[in-house]
Amino acid sequence: MEIIKKHKAFVTKLVAASCIALTLTGCNDFLSIEPQNDIVLENYWTEEADVNSVLNSCYAQLESVDCIQRMVVWGELRSDNMTNGSGTNNNLNNILKENILETNNYTNWQCFYNVINRCNTVIFYAPDVNKIDPNFTDSELRATIAEATTLRSLCYFYLIRTFRDVPYVTEPSNDDTQEYQVPATPFNEVLDKLIADMESVKEDAVRSYGEESVENTCRITRWACYALLADLYLWKGDYQKCINYCDLVIEQKIKEYEEDYEENPTTLTTELYGKYPLISESSANSNYAGNTYNEIFGQGNSFESIFELNFVHNQSVTNSAVGSFYGSSTSKTGQIGAPPFLYTDAYAGLNDYFKKTDCRYLENMTEINSKIYITKYVNQSVSFRTSTTSGSQPSVNSSVRSNGFANWIIYRLTDVMLMRAEAEVELAGDVTADTPLTEEQTQHYRNAFACVSAVWKRANNKRVATTDTLVYDDYATSRTAMENLVLDERQRELMFEGKRWYDLVRISRRDGDNTRMIAKVLPKFTENASVIRIKLATQDILYWPYNKEELKQNPYLVQNPAYETDNTEQNF
Protein backbone atom coordinates (compact mmCIF):
# COMPACT_ATOMS: atom_id res chain seq x y z
CA MET A 1 0.00 0.00 0.00
CA GLU A 2 1.25 3.43 -0.94
CA ILE A 3 0.95 4.91 2.52
CA ILE A 4 3.62 2.74 4.08
CA LYS A 5 5.71 1.01 1.43
CA LYS A 6 8.12 3.86 0.73
CA HIS A 7 9.40 4.80 4.16
CA LYS A 8 12.84 3.22 4.03
CA ALA A 9 14.27 6.70 3.51
CA PHE A 10 12.79 7.75 6.85
CA VAL A 11 14.35 4.85 8.68
CA THR A 12 17.76 5.08 7.01
CA LYS A 13 18.23 8.84 7.03
CA LEU A 14 15.69 10.17 9.56
CA VAL A 15 16.08 13.61 8.06
CA ALA A 16 12.47 14.51 8.68
CA ALA A 17 12.77 13.85 12.38
CA SER A 18 15.55 16.38 12.76
CA CYS A 19 13.37 19.04 11.17
CA ILE A 20 10.31 18.46 13.35
CA ALA A 21 11.81 17.40 16.66
CA LEU A 22 11.85 21.05 17.74
CA THR A 23 8.08 21.07 18.15
CA LEU A 24 8.26 19.39 21.52
CA THR A 25 11.42 20.71 23.09
CA GLY A 26 9.55 22.42 25.89
CA CYS A 27 8.48 19.18 27.59
CA ASN A 28 11.80 17.89 28.90
CA ASP A 29 15.30 16.84 27.89
CA PHE A 30 13.99 13.75 26.09
CA LEU A 31 12.12 15.87 23.62
CA SER A 32 15.13 18.02 22.76
CA ILE A 33 17.20 15.14 21.38
CA GLU A 34 17.57 15.45 17.64
CA PRO A 35 18.50 12.60 15.27
CA GLN A 36 21.54 12.76 13.07
CA ASN A 37 21.24 12.92 9.31
CA ASP A 38 22.35 10.52 6.58
CA ILE A 39 22.99 7.52 8.80
CA VAL A 40 22.86 4.01 7.33
CA LEU A 41 20.17 1.85 8.92
CA GLU A 42 22.40 -0.85 10.36
CA ASN A 43 24.68 1.76 11.95
CA TYR A 44 21.95 3.94 13.38
CA TRP A 45 20.32 1.94 16.17
CA THR A 46 23.22 1.82 18.60
CA GLU A 47 22.23 3.90 21.64
CA GLU A 48 19.28 5.18 23.61
CA ALA A 49 19.43 8.61 21.94
CA ASP A 50 18.66 6.97 18.59
CA VAL A 51 15.51 5.42 20.01
CA ASN A 52 14.45 8.69 21.62
CA SER A 53 14.95 10.60 18.39
CA VAL A 54 12.57 8.39 16.43
CA LEU A 55 10.08 8.24 19.30
CA ASN A 56 10.18 12.02 19.35
CA SER A 57 9.37 12.08 15.65
CA CYS A 58 6.23 10.01 16.32
CA TYR A 59 4.86 12.87 18.41
CA ALA A 60 6.04 15.43 15.90
CA GLN A 61 4.24 13.67 13.04
CA LEU A 62 1.06 13.43 15.14
CA GLU A 63 1.33 17.21 15.58
CA SER A 64 1.48 17.78 11.83
CA VAL A 65 -1.17 20.00 10.30
CA ASP A 66 -2.47 17.05 8.27
CA CYS A 67 -3.12 14.95 11.38
CA ILE A 68 -4.80 17.68 13.42
CA GLN A 69 -6.91 18.80 10.46
CA ARG A 70 -8.19 15.26 10.14
CA MET A 71 -8.90 15.01 13.86
CA VAL A 72 -11.21 17.98 13.33
CA VAL A 73 -12.68 17.00 9.97
CA TRP A 74 -13.15 13.30 10.76
CA GLY A 75 -14.31 13.86 14.32
CA GLU A 76 -16.54 16.94 13.95
CA LEU A 77 -17.32 18.26 10.48
CA ARG A 78 -20.21 15.93 9.63
CA SER A 79 -21.83 16.47 13.04
CA ASP A 80 -24.37 19.03 14.20
CA ASN A 81 -21.53 21.14 15.62
CA MET A 82 -20.19 22.52 12.36
CA THR A 83 -21.15 24.34 9.21
CA ASN A 84 -19.34 26.50 6.66
CA GLY A 85 -17.38 29.53 7.85
CA SER A 86 -15.44 32.16 5.96
CA GLY A 87 -13.77 31.18 2.67
CA THR A 88 -14.53 27.48 3.19
CA ASN A 89 -12.64 25.41 0.62
CA ASN A 90 -14.39 23.01 -1.75
CA ASN A 91 -13.27 19.84 0.04
CA LEU A 92 -14.75 21.06 3.32
CA ASN A 93 -17.91 22.35 1.63
CA ASN A 94 -18.53 19.00 -0.03
CA ILE A 95 -18.18 17.18 3.27
CA LEU A 96 -20.57 19.64 4.93
CA LYS A 97 -23.09 18.82 2.17
CA GLU A 98 -22.54 15.07 2.73
CA ASN A 99 -21.13 14.94 -0.76
CA ILE A 100 -17.98 13.00 0.14
CA LEU A 101 -16.09 11.61 -2.84
CA GLU A 102 -13.12 9.26 -2.91
CA THR A 103 -11.13 12.09 -4.49
CA ASN A 104 -11.64 14.40 -1.51
CA ASN A 105 -8.26 15.16 0.05
CA TYR A 106 -9.57 14.53 3.56
CA THR A 107 -10.08 10.87 2.71
CA ASN A 108 -6.29 10.59 2.56
CA TRP A 109 -5.04 8.75 5.66
CA GLN A 110 -1.31 8.80 4.94
CA CYS A 111 -0.37 11.14 7.81
CA PHE A 112 -1.71 8.69 10.40
CA TYR A 113 0.03 5.76 8.78
CA ASN A 114 3.24 7.79 8.88
CA VAL A 115 2.89 7.94 12.66
CA ILE A 116 2.08 4.23 12.76
CA ASN A 117 5.16 3.33 10.74
CA ARG A 118 7.42 5.38 13.00
CA CYS A 119 5.92 3.67 16.05
CA ASN A 120 6.42 0.27 14.42
CA THR A 121 10.03 1.22 13.77
CA VAL A 122 10.64 2.09 17.43
CA ILE A 123 8.98 -1.10 18.66
CA PHE A 124 11.01 -3.20 16.21
CA TYR A 125 14.48 -1.72 16.80
CA ALA A 126 14.43 -0.60 20.44
CA PRO A 127 15.04 -4.16 21.80
CA ASP A 128 18.26 -4.36 19.75
CA VAL A 129 19.51 -1.12 21.28
CA ASN A 130 18.72 -2.49 24.73
CA LYS A 131 21.11 -5.35 24.04
CA ILE A 132 24.08 -3.14 23.15
CA ASP A 133 23.60 0.05 25.17
CA PRO A 134 23.92 -0.62 28.93
CA ASN A 135 22.41 2.81 29.66
CA PHE A 136 19.17 1.78 27.95
CA THR A 137 17.73 -0.34 30.75
CA ASP A 138 15.04 -3.00 30.57
CA SER A 139 12.52 -0.76 32.32
CA GLU A 140 13.28 2.10 29.90
CA LEU A 141 12.82 -0.30 26.98
CA ARG A 142 9.43 -1.41 28.28
CA ALA A 143 8.36 2.20 28.87
CA THR A 144 9.46 3.15 25.34
CA ILE A 145 7.51 0.29 23.79
CA ALA A 146 4.46 1.24 25.87
CA GLU A 147 4.71 4.82 24.64
CA ALA A 148 5.05 3.85 20.99
CA THR A 149 2.32 1.21 21.26
CA THR A 150 -0.11 3.74 22.74
CA LEU A 151 0.56 6.28 20.00
CA ARG A 152 0.13 3.58 17.37
CA SER A 153 -3.11 2.39 18.98
CA LEU A 154 -4.43 5.94 19.13
CA CYS A 155 -3.80 6.37 15.39
CA TYR A 156 -5.52 3.11 14.50
CA PHE A 157 -8.42 4.14 16.74
CA TYR A 158 -8.86 7.31 14.70
CA LEU A 159 -8.71 5.27 11.50
CA ILE A 160 -11.30 2.62 12.40
CA ARG A 161 -13.74 5.17 13.80
CA THR A 162 -13.45 7.03 10.49
CA PHE A 163 -13.15 4.27 7.86
CA ARG A 164 -14.38 1.21 9.84
CA ASP A 165 -12.14 -1.49 8.28
CA VAL A 166 -8.50 -0.52 7.67
CA PRO A 167 -5.20 -2.24 6.80
CA TYR A 168 -3.60 -3.25 10.10
CA VAL A 169 0.20 -3.45 10.00
CA THR A 170 2.57 -3.80 12.96
CA GLU A 171 5.87 -4.29 11.13
CA PRO A 172 7.99 -1.30 10.05
CA SER A 173 8.45 -0.56 6.38
CA ASN A 174 12.23 -0.79 6.36
CA ASP A 175 12.85 -2.96 3.33
CA ASP A 176 11.82 -2.22 -0.24
CA THR A 177 11.22 -5.93 -0.83
CA GLN A 178 8.46 -6.09 1.81
CA GLU A 179 4.91 -6.34 0.54
CA TYR A 180 2.43 -3.96 2.13
CA GLN A 181 -0.57 -4.45 -0.10
CA VAL A 182 -2.84 -6.04 2.49
CA PRO A 183 -6.61 -6.36 2.88
CA ALA A 184 -8.48 -4.19 5.35
CA THR A 185 -8.94 -5.79 8.76
CA PRO A 186 -12.52 -5.62 10.10
CA PHE A 187 -13.34 -2.95 12.69
CA ASN A 188 -14.00 -5.33 15.58
CA GLU A 189 -10.84 -7.31 14.92
CA VAL A 190 -8.70 -4.17 14.92
CA LEU A 191 -10.45 -2.96 18.08
CA ASP A 192 -9.67 -6.25 19.83
CA LYS A 193 -6.04 -6.05 18.72
CA LEU A 194 -5.72 -2.52 20.06
CA ILE A 195 -7.17 -3.54 23.40
CA ALA A 196 -4.84 -6.55 23.62
CA ASP A 197 -1.84 -4.36 22.74
CA MET A 198 -2.75 -1.75 25.32
CA GLU A 199 -3.44 -4.30 28.03
CA SER A 200 0.00 -5.80 27.44
CA VAL A 201 1.90 -2.51 27.89
CA LYS A 202 -0.20 -0.32 30.18
CA GLU A 203 1.69 -1.10 33.38
CA ASP A 204 5.02 -0.37 31.68
CA ALA A 205 4.09 3.22 30.87
CA VAL A 206 5.72 5.97 32.90
CA ARG A 207 3.61 7.39 35.72
CA SER A 208 5.30 10.79 35.78
CA TYR A 209 8.08 12.55 33.89
CA GLY A 210 8.42 15.39 36.38
CA GLU A 211 6.65 17.70 38.79
CA GLU A 212 5.27 20.14 36.22
CA SER A 213 1.97 19.49 34.45
CA VAL A 214 3.48 20.22 31.03
CA GLU A 215 5.95 17.37 31.52
CA ASN A 216 3.15 14.87 32.08
CA THR A 217 0.52 15.95 29.61
CA CYS A 218 2.48 16.25 26.36
CA ARG A 219 3.76 12.67 26.52
CA ILE A 220 2.06 9.34 27.01
CA THR A 221 1.77 8.43 30.69
CA ARG A 222 0.08 5.49 32.35
CA TRP A 223 -2.99 7.67 32.83
CA ALA A 224 -3.14 8.38 29.08
CA CYS A 225 -3.00 4.61 28.52
CA TYR A 226 -5.92 4.17 30.91
CA ALA A 227 -7.94 6.91 29.17
CA LEU A 228 -7.41 5.29 25.77
CA LEU A 229 -8.32 1.87 27.17
CA ALA A 230 -11.52 3.29 28.66
CA ASP A 231 -12.43 4.71 25.25
CA LEU A 232 -11.64 1.43 23.47
CA TYR A 233 -13.76 -0.57 25.90
CA LEU A 234 -16.62 1.94 25.55
CA TRP A 235 -16.65 1.29 21.80
CA LYS A 236 -16.39 -2.46 22.36
CA GLY A 237 -19.36 -2.39 24.72
CA ASP A 238 -17.44 -3.76 27.71
CA TYR A 239 -18.83 -1.13 30.03
CA GLN A 240 -17.51 -2.39 33.34
CA LYS A 241 -13.95 -2.35 32.07
CA CYS A 242 -14.53 1.13 30.68
CA ILE A 243 -15.62 2.25 34.15
CA ASN A 244 -12.65 0.54 35.79
CA TYR A 245 -10.16 2.45 33.66
CA CYS A 246 -12.07 5.72 34.01
CA ASP A 247 -11.88 5.29 37.77
CA LEU A 248 -8.11 4.85 37.67
CA VAL A 249 -7.78 8.20 35.90
CA ILE A 250 -10.31 9.93 38.16
CA GLU A 251 -8.70 8.56 41.33
CA GLN A 252 -5.33 9.87 40.19
CA LYS A 253 -6.80 13.34 39.62
CA ILE A 254 -8.44 13.28 43.05
CA LYS A 255 -5.07 12.37 44.56
CA GLU A 256 -3.37 15.23 42.71
CA TYR A 257 -6.07 17.63 43.87
CA GLU A 258 -5.67 16.58 47.50
CA GLU A 259 -1.91 17.05 47.29
CA ASP A 260 -2.33 20.48 45.68
CA TYR A 261 -4.92 21.50 48.27
CA GLU A 262 -2.64 20.52 51.12
CA GLU A 263 0.14 22.68 49.69
CA ASN A 264 -1.87 25.66 48.39
CA PRO A 265 -5.38 25.74 49.90
CA THR A 266 -5.88 29.49 49.38
CA THR A 267 -4.60 29.85 45.81
CA LEU A 268 -6.04 26.70 44.25
CA THR A 269 -8.27 27.34 41.22
CA THR A 270 -9.60 23.78 41.36
CA GLU A 271 -12.53 22.77 43.55
CA LEU A 272 -14.71 19.74 44.15
CA TYR A 273 -18.01 19.26 42.32
CA GLY A 274 -19.35 16.32 44.22
CA LYS A 275 -16.23 14.19 44.50
CA TYR A 276 -14.77 15.39 41.20
CA PRO A 277 -11.99 18.02 41.18
CA LEU A 278 -12.44 20.50 38.34
CA ILE A 279 -11.06 23.94 37.49
CA SER A 280 -13.58 26.59 38.58
CA GLU A 281 -15.12 29.01 36.13
CA SER A 282 -14.59 31.75 38.70
CA SER A 283 -13.58 32.11 42.31
CA ALA A 284 -16.35 32.01 44.89
CA ASN A 285 -16.32 35.78 45.40
CA SER A 286 -15.84 36.84 41.78
CA ASN A 287 -18.45 38.27 39.43
CA TYR A 288 -16.43 37.22 36.39
CA ALA A 289 -16.09 33.82 34.71
CA GLY A 290 -13.76 32.37 32.08
CA ASN A 291 -11.07 30.86 34.26
CA THR A 292 -11.84 27.29 33.14
CA TYR A 293 -11.31 28.20 29.50
CA ASN A 294 -8.19 30.22 30.26
CA GLU A 295 -6.44 27.36 32.06
CA ILE A 296 -7.52 24.48 29.81
CA PHE A 297 -7.40 26.09 26.37
CA GLY A 298 -5.66 29.42 26.79
CA GLN A 299 -2.63 28.27 28.76
CA GLY A 300 -2.85 24.53 28.08
CA ASN A 301 -1.37 21.62 30.04
CA SER A 302 -3.90 22.23 32.80
CA PHE A 303 -4.70 20.18 35.88
CA GLU A 304 -7.49 18.46 33.94
CA SER A 305 -5.32 17.48 30.98
CA ILE A 306 -4.41 13.84 30.44
CA PHE A 307 -2.80 14.01 27.01
CA GLU A 308 -2.49 16.90 24.59
CA LEU A 309 -0.29 17.78 21.66
CA ASN A 310 2.04 20.53 22.79
CA PHE A 311 3.10 23.46 20.62
CA VAL A 312 6.01 25.35 22.11
CA HIS A 313 6.20 29.12 21.76
CA ASN A 314 9.00 30.54 19.64
CA GLN A 315 9.53 27.26 17.79
CA SER A 316 9.12 26.75 14.07
CA VAL A 317 6.02 24.52 14.02
CA THR A 318 2.64 26.00 14.91
CA ASN A 319 -0.86 24.58 15.16
CA SER A 320 -1.92 26.03 11.82
CA ALA A 321 -4.94 23.70 11.68
CA VAL A 322 -6.65 25.77 14.36
CA GLY A 323 -5.73 28.99 12.56
CA SER A 324 -7.16 27.92 9.22
CA PHE A 325 -10.26 26.14 10.53
CA TYR A 326 -11.27 28.24 13.56
CA GLY A 327 -9.49 31.59 13.20
CA SER A 328 -6.39 33.48 14.27
CA SER A 329 -5.13 36.94 15.20
CA THR A 330 -4.85 37.83 11.52
CA SER A 331 -8.16 36.27 10.53
CA LYS A 332 -10.79 36.43 13.27
CA THR A 333 -12.94 33.94 11.34
CA GLY A 334 -12.02 30.45 10.15
CA GLN A 335 -13.19 28.21 7.34
CA ILE A 336 -15.47 26.33 9.74
CA GLY A 337 -18.37 27.90 11.63
CA ALA A 338 -21.11 26.70 13.94
CA PRO A 339 -24.86 26.39 13.25
CA PRO A 340 -26.84 29.30 14.76
CA PHE A 341 -29.04 26.99 16.85
CA LEU A 342 -26.07 26.21 19.11
CA TYR A 343 -25.72 29.87 20.11
CA THR A 344 -28.74 31.99 19.28
CA ASP A 345 -30.79 33.33 22.21
CA ALA A 346 -28.86 31.35 24.81
CA TYR A 347 -28.48 34.53 26.84
CA ALA A 348 -32.29 34.81 26.99
CA GLY A 349 -32.78 31.24 28.14
CA LEU A 350 -34.37 30.26 24.80
CA ASN A 351 -31.68 27.90 23.49
CA ASP A 352 -32.23 24.14 23.45
CA TYR A 353 -28.56 23.35 23.95
CA PHE A 354 -27.23 25.86 26.50
CA LYS A 355 -28.84 27.36 29.58
CA LYS A 356 -28.32 31.12 29.88
CA THR A 357 -26.04 30.45 32.86
CA ASP A 358 -23.77 28.16 30.83
CA CYS A 359 -20.34 29.68 30.33
CA ARG A 360 -19.39 27.40 27.46
CA TYR A 361 -21.45 28.99 24.68
CA LEU A 362 -19.70 32.28 25.45
CA GLU A 363 -16.28 30.63 25.53
CA ASN A 364 -16.74 28.43 22.45
CA MET A 365 -18.41 30.75 19.95
CA THR A 366 -19.08 34.32 18.89
CA GLU A 367 -21.37 36.04 16.39
CA ILE A 368 -19.80 38.09 13.60
CA ASN A 369 -21.93 39.58 10.80
CA SER A 370 -24.87 37.31 11.65
CA LYS A 371 -22.76 34.14 11.45
CA ILE A 372 -21.53 32.02 14.33
CA TYR A 373 -17.78 31.39 14.48
CA ILE A 374 -15.68 29.15 16.69
CA THR A 375 -13.48 30.76 19.34
CA LYS A 376 -12.35 27.66 21.24
CA TYR A 377 -8.56 27.42 20.95
CA VAL A 378 -8.54 30.75 19.07
CA ASN A 379 -8.81 32.95 22.16
CA GLN A 380 -5.91 33.15 24.57
CA SER A 381 -8.21 34.33 27.35
CA VAL A 382 -11.84 35.25 28.00
CA SER A 383 -13.68 37.06 30.76
CA PHE A 384 -17.35 37.91 31.23
CA ARG A 385 -19.74 38.69 34.04
CA THR A 386 -21.52 35.70 35.51
CA SER A 387 -24.75 37.64 36.10
CA THR A 388 -27.41 37.36 33.39
CA THR A 389 -30.15 39.27 35.21
CA SER A 390 -30.09 42.09 32.69
CA GLY A 391 -31.56 39.84 30.01
CA SER A 392 -29.07 41.05 27.43
CA GLN A 393 -26.17 39.28 25.73
CA PRO A 394 -23.19 39.25 28.13
CA SER A 395 -20.17 41.14 26.86
CA VAL A 396 -17.15 38.87 26.48
CA ASN A 397 -13.73 40.44 26.90
CA SER A 398 -11.46 38.20 24.86
CA SER A 399 -7.83 38.19 23.87
CA VAL A 400 -7.20 36.46 20.56
CA ARG A 401 -4.10 34.30 20.58
CA SER A 402 -1.31 36.36 19.02
CA ASN A 403 0.48 33.24 17.77
CA GLY A 404 -0.36 29.80 16.43
CA PHE A 405 0.80 27.76 19.40
CA ALA A 406 -2.51 26.46 20.70
CA ASN A 407 -2.16 22.98 22.14
CA TRP A 408 -4.55 20.30 20.88
CA ILE A 409 -6.21 18.20 23.57
CA ILE A 410 -6.74 14.47 22.99
CA TYR A 411 -8.01 13.46 26.46
CA ARG A 412 -8.98 15.50 29.50
CA LEU A 413 -10.72 14.71 32.77
CA THR A 414 -14.29 15.69 31.88
CA ASP A 415 -14.10 13.52 28.75
CA VAL A 416 -13.23 10.54 30.96
CA MET A 417 -16.00 11.41 33.44
CA LEU A 418 -18.57 11.47 30.65
CA MET A 419 -17.27 8.18 29.23
CA ARG A 420 -17.90 6.77 32.68
CA ALA A 421 -21.41 8.22 32.72
CA GLU A 422 -22.23 6.63 29.36
CA ALA A 423 -20.94 3.25 30.49
CA GLU A 424 -23.01 3.42 33.71
CA VAL A 425 -26.19 4.12 31.72
CA GLU A 426 -25.55 1.15 29.44
CA LEU A 427 -24.85 -1.16 32.40
CA ALA A 428 -28.26 -0.29 33.82
CA GLY A 429 -29.91 -1.96 30.84
CA ASP A 430 -33.44 -1.28 29.62
CA VAL A 431 -35.45 1.13 31.74
CA THR A 432 -38.94 2.46 31.10
CA ALA A 433 -41.34 4.65 33.02
CA ASP A 434 -43.67 1.66 33.48
CA THR A 435 -41.13 -0.46 35.36
CA PRO A 436 -39.56 0.64 38.66
CA LEU A 437 -35.78 0.68 38.68
CA THR A 438 -34.02 -2.02 40.61
CA GLU A 439 -31.55 -0.98 43.29
CA GLU A 440 -28.68 -1.84 40.95
CA GLN A 441 -30.15 0.16 38.08
CA THR A 442 -30.74 3.12 40.37
CA GLN A 443 -27.11 3.05 41.47
CA HIS A 444 -25.91 3.00 37.86
CA TYR A 445 -28.11 5.98 37.03
CA ARG A 446 -27.06 7.86 40.15
CA ASN A 447 -23.40 7.29 39.24
CA ALA A 448 -23.98 8.49 35.68
CA PHE A 449 -25.88 11.56 36.80
CA ALA A 450 -23.19 12.46 39.33
CA CYS A 451 -20.60 12.67 36.53
CA VAL A 452 -22.84 14.71 34.25
CA SER A 453 -23.98 16.96 37.09
CA ALA A 454 -20.40 17.77 38.13
CA VAL A 455 -19.47 18.82 34.59
CA TRP A 456 -22.69 20.80 34.19
CA LYS A 457 -22.40 22.54 37.56
CA ARG A 458 -18.89 23.71 36.83
CA ALA A 459 -19.94 25.15 33.48
CA ASN A 460 -22.98 26.89 34.99
CA ASN A 461 -21.23 28.20 38.10
CA LYS A 462 -23.55 26.19 40.32
CA ARG A 463 -22.09 25.62 43.75
CA VAL A 464 -25.38 25.28 45.63
CA ALA A 465 -27.60 22.29 44.86
CA THR A 466 -30.86 24.18 45.33
CA THR A 467 -30.10 26.41 42.35
CA ASP A 468 -29.66 23.51 39.92
CA THR A 469 -31.92 23.25 36.88
CA LEU A 470 -30.43 19.84 36.06
CA VAL A 471 -32.60 17.45 38.08
CA TYR A 472 -32.07 13.70 38.38
CA ASP A 473 -35.78 12.81 38.40
CA ASP A 474 -36.24 14.41 34.98
CA TYR A 475 -34.12 11.66 33.41
CA ALA A 476 -34.26 8.65 35.72
CA THR A 477 -37.28 6.87 34.25
CA SER A 478 -35.98 6.35 30.71
CA ARG A 479 -32.81 4.83 29.34
CA THR A 480 -33.10 6.98 26.23
CA ALA A 481 -33.44 10.12 28.34
CA MET A 482 -30.32 9.25 30.33
CA GLU A 483 -28.39 8.36 27.18
CA ASN A 484 -29.36 11.67 25.60
CA LEU A 485 -28.44 13.55 28.78
CA VAL A 486 -24.90 12.16 28.59
CA LEU A 487 -24.69 12.65 24.83
CA ASP A 488 -25.86 16.26 25.09
CA GLU A 489 -23.43 17.06 27.89
CA ARG A 490 -20.57 15.57 25.89
CA GLN A 491 -21.59 17.86 23.06
CA ARG A 492 -21.62 20.96 25.26
CA GLU A 493 -18.39 20.14 27.08
CA LEU A 494 -16.27 18.77 24.21
CA MET A 495 -17.60 20.93 21.39
CA PHE A 496 -15.11 21.46 18.52
CA GLU A 497 -12.54 19.09 20.09
CA GLY A 498 -12.87 16.32 17.49
CA LYS A 499 -15.35 14.16 19.43
CA ARG A 500 -18.92 14.79 18.31
CA TRP A 501 -19.20 12.79 15.07
CA TYR A 502 -17.52 9.82 16.72
CA ASP A 503 -20.05 10.03 19.57
CA LEU A 504 -22.89 9.94 17.04
CA VAL A 505 -21.30 7.01 15.22
CA ARG A 506 -20.94 5.08 18.49
CA ILE A 507 -24.59 5.70 19.41
CA SER A 508 -25.70 4.63 15.91
CA ARG A 509 -23.64 1.44 16.09
CA ARG A 510 -25.21 0.63 19.44
CA ASP A 511 -28.75 1.40 18.23
CA GLY A 512 -28.29 -0.52 15.01
CA ASP A 513 -29.72 2.40 13.01
CA ASN A 514 -29.02 6.08 12.41
CA THR A 515 -32.29 7.57 13.64
CA ARG A 516 -30.87 9.52 16.56
CA MET A 517 -27.86 10.67 14.59
CA ILE A 518 -30.09 11.98 11.78
CA ALA A 519 -32.31 13.81 14.28
CA LYS A 520 -29.26 15.55 15.71
CA VAL A 521 -27.56 16.41 12.42
CA LEU A 522 -30.47 17.29 10.14
CA PRO A 523 -31.33 20.72 11.65
CA LYS A 524 -28.06 22.21 10.39
CA PHE A 525 -29.12 21.61 6.77
CA THR A 526 -31.10 24.61 5.61
CA GLU A 527 -31.89 23.04 2.24
CA ASN A 528 -32.20 19.56 0.69
CA ALA A 529 -32.98 18.12 4.13
CA SER A 530 -35.04 15.27 2.64
CA VAL A 531 -32.14 14.26 0.38
CA ILE A 532 -29.73 14.33 3.32
CA ARG A 533 -32.13 12.26 5.46
CA ILE A 534 -32.22 9.51 2.82
CA LYS A 535 -28.46 9.63 2.29
CA LEU A 536 -27.70 9.27 6.01
CA ALA A 537 -30.05 6.35 6.56
CA THR A 538 -27.62 3.44 6.10
CA GLN A 539 -24.99 2.29 8.60
CA ASP A 540 -22.34 2.28 5.85
CA ILE A 541 -22.64 6.05 5.51
CA LEU A 542 -21.33 6.52 9.05
CA TYR A 543 -17.88 5.87 7.66
CA TRP A 544 -15.77 7.54 5.00
CA PRO A 545 -14.77 6.27 1.56
CA TYR A 546 -11.26 5.00 0.88
CA ASN A 547 -9.19 7.48 -1.07
CA LYS A 548 -9.04 6.92 -4.82
CA GLU A 549 -5.24 6.61 -4.85
CA GLU A 550 -5.28 3.99 -2.09
CA LEU A 551 -7.74 1.92 -4.10
CA LYS A 552 -5.35 2.08 -7.05
CA GLN A 553 -2.30 1.15 -5.01
CA ASN A 554 -3.91 -1.60 -2.95
CA PRO A 555 -6.07 -4.00 -4.97
CA TYR A 556 -7.23 -5.69 -1.76
CA LEU A 557 -9.19 -2.65 -0.63
CA VAL A 558 -12.92 -2.75 -1.41
CA GLN A 559 -14.74 0.58 -1.42
CA ASN A 560 -17.37 1.31 1.22
CA PRO A 561 -20.70 0.39 -0.48
CA ALA A 562 -22.18 3.77 0.46
CA TYR A 563 -19.77 5.47 -1.95
CA GLU A 564 -19.52 3.02 -4.84
CA THR A 565 -21.76 5.10 -7.12
CA ASP A 566 -20.38 8.53 -6.14
CA ASN A 567 -18.23 8.97 -9.23
CA THR A 568 -19.27 12.50 -10.09
CA GLU A 569 -19.87 15.71 -8.19
CA GLN A 570 -23.38 16.17 -6.87
CA ASN A 571 -24.77 19.66 -6.65
CA PHE A 572 -27.35 19.96 -3.91
pTM over 0.75: yes
3-state SS string for 232-265: HHHHHCCHHHHHHHHHHHHHHHHHHHHHHHHHCC
Could you tell me what percent of the chain has a pLDDT over 70?
88
Q: What is the pLDDT of residue 12?
A: 37
Q: Name the helix (H) or strand (E) containing 55.
A: helix 48-62
Q: Is the pLDDT of residue 466 over 90?
A: no
Phi, psi of 505 (to 5 degrees): -65, -45
pLDDT at residue 14 above 70? no
Q: Note the residue count of the chain.
A: 572
Q: What is the DSSP letter of 285?
A: T
- pLDDT interval class at 7 (50, 70, 90): very low
DSSP 96-162: HTT---TT-GGG--HHHHHHHHHHHHHHHHHHHHHHH-TTS-HHHHHHHHHHHHHHHHHHHHHHHHH
pLDDT digits (tens, 9 = 90+) for 280-332: 999 777 889 999 999 999 999 999 999 999 998 767 788 999 999 999 988 88
- Residue 149: how many other CB atoms lie within 10 Å: 25
232 has a pLDDT exceeding 90:
yes
Say which range, 146-150, 190-194, 229-233, 348-352, has the weakest mean pLDDT: 348-352
Alpha carbon distance 292, 273 (integer Å) = 14
Q: How confident is the model over 54-77, as pLDDT tens digits?
A: 999 999 999 999 999 999 999 999
Averaged pLDDT for residues 110-125: 97
Burial 418-436 (b: 16+ CB within 10 A, else e): bbbbbbbbbbbeebeeeee
Domains in the chain (CATH in brackets) are 8-205 (1.25.40.390), 280-410 (no CATH)
Cβ pair 117, 179 in contact under 8 A? no
Average pLDDT, the chain: 89
Question: Hey, which residues does 369 pair with through a beta bridge?
Answer: none
